[in-house]
Structure 1
Amino acid sequence: MPPRIYLAGPDVFRPDAIAQGDALKALCAGQGCEGLFPLDNAIPVELTEPRAQAAWIYRANVALIEQADGVLANLDFFRGAEPDSGTCFEVGYAVALGKPVVGYVPEQGSLAERIRARHPEWLGTGLLDRDGWTLEEFGLPLNLMLAVSTSLVVGGPEVALAVLRERLG
């Protein structure tokens, strides 16, 4: 059986989410893997209450992570200067299960440098944001909890998948 890769990221919120999922799964297939995209699971039609739908999605995504051999994670900024919180949970869950996780960001630089470049309006002076809170600066492209627990690459899913594929053997 080919290695199964859970495709984590805010891509599920894109206007073209299904097409993006198909492209990511095709990328996986091209490297001898099976991509598991969260939107592959359809919410049962009888579930109409939003909280019940949310609980179903949670359980379905956790099950996909448990079935996966590794996780490919889009950790670019999403609706702010941090990755999508759901993706962060998925990464943490996979790490806790001992699965290899490779994340990708689009540009070089530490988290503070990336915020300075993309969201200068959020900055104060030195290593403080506009509200006086400290900017994390360890020279890592993301918060240390993500950057230390995962392998991070600069580039897109192609680059990250090649690294993950190598880790999986």
Structure 2
Amino acid sequence: MIKDENIYIAGPACFYERGNELWDSWKKEAIYYGFGVSLPNDAKLDFDPDDKKSLSAAIFKNCYDSIKASTGIIANFETYRGAEPDGGTIYEVGMAYGRGLKCYGYTRDKRPIGVKYQSGRYVGDTLLDLDGRQLPDLKLPFSACLVGACKIVEGSFSDALKVYMLDIEEESKRKAMHLKAEIAIPDQTIPRSGRPIVYLATLERYSDQAAEKYAAMKEVLDRYGFDAIAPSDLAPGVEDLATDDVYARAYNLFDRYQQHVRNCDIILADLSDYHGYEPNSDVAFECGMANSLGKKMFAYMDDVRPMIERIPNSGEPGGFRDINGMNVENFEAPLNLMFGASMELFGGAFEDVVRQMAASLKK
């Protein structure tokens, strides 16, 4: 029997028809093996029934508290409304990693992104998405942050649970052999100038013109009194690894990104739709990690209308179900409540966003 382990079960099952029953079956399975289990719907919600944002904040608090009480997370990485996993789930994985939890994901399809994304087109030797961006990590099943932070199992929740149990057994043997590796949590590795440091958690990282685009964004931030770091910048303390091993390279990129999150004071994230109706997984992960580390958080999107207006659905008579039968959240926010309840979200051009962020920080 497993002892002293508490799992947080993450995924969009709450949006499925009969999803709570599915969650309950996973919970019972984990408990059978001796795990404690935390779910976002465990605690009674404390909210104003006339205020949808109050409900959103209450659910977020439950998720936060449940992750805080856990030792590991098992997350559903199935694609959701497009080619990306559910953004709220990836946010929770970022929170879990930031708190030092064991991180596991599962999927029925662990084929490379380059195979799974059906809308790519070649320009010369470069594969581009529908928006003209270079597709990253073509030989990996998911983004660098997910591959770097998680052990990803091809299969079901039950399969991931078995791998988790096997890892605990191996850890017990290492302890008995006095070979336990102590994992050091990285500190901030850049000098402080006295100005707030903003991390640009954005999609420009995938552009072949990333350096030029980030230079222009940094100039805007500089005018408003901020220093800035970008995903394409090297992170002091993290070696830039030259390798043709795609998994080693993915971990190296992830190591850089997570160090940038630790080094910043503020995260400014582009949560615009990415290959569907969900945000990019690297960005979603970084937001969740930033929350766990207590960073100030801001975001922007191309379309800031509420989800029930952005995502085609059956409307109130049909329970706001999308084309796949998934519930579309109705919290007066443009995307999953994990983002809407934890960070200010703006629309407009980049300088307008920075102006709004600067004004908010002065309040």
Higher relative contact order (CA 8 A, sep 6+): 1
State the TM-score, normalizing by the size of structure 1.
0.88
Equivalent pair of 2:106/2:152 in contact (CA under 8 Å): yes
Structure 2: gaps of 5 or more residues: 170-363
1:67 aligned onto 2:81:
no
Equivalent residue number for residue 142 of structure 1 = 142
Equivalent residue number for residue 121 of structure 2 = 124
Equivalent pair of 2:48/2:55 in contact (CA under 8 Å): no
% identical aligned pairs:
28
Aligned counterparts of 1:161 and 1:131: Cα–Cα separation in 2 = 37
Residues 97-117 of structure 1 deviation map (CA, whole Å, 9 limit, x = unaligned): 1110100111231122222xx
Q: Which runs of 4+ in 1 moved over 4 A?
A: none
Q: Which has the higher Rg, Structure 1 or Structure 2?
A: 2
Aligned counterparts of 2:93 and 2:30: Cα–Cα separation in 1 = 18
Aligned counterparts of 1:66 and 1:165: Cα–Cα separation in 2 = 21
For residues 22-41 of structure 1, the aligned pairs below 5 Å read 22-41=24-43
Structure 1: gaps of 5 or more residues: none
Most deviating of 73-82 and 158-167: 158-167
Which one-letter code corresponds to 1:127 in the other structure?
A: L
Aligned counterparts of 1:52 and 1:100: Cα–Cα separation in 2 = 31
State the TM-score, normalizing by the size of structure 2.
0.43
Cα distance change on mapping 1:42 and 1:48 into 2, 3 Å: farther
* Number of equivalenced pairs: 164
Equivalent pair of 1:101/1:164 in contact (CA under 8 Å): no
Equivalent residue number for residue 154 of structure 1 = 154
1:21 aligned onto 2:18:
no
Residues 51-99 of structure 1 deviation map (CA, whole Å, 9 limit, x = unaligned): 1111111111010001011000001111111111111111011101111
SS at match of 1:72: strand
Equivalent pair of 2:47/2:54 in contact (CA under 8 Å): no
Aligned counterparts of 1:35 and 1:139: Cα–Cα separation in 2 = 34
Q: CA RMSD in A?
A: 1.7
CA shift, 1:33, in A, is 1.2
Select the structure that is richer in helix. 1
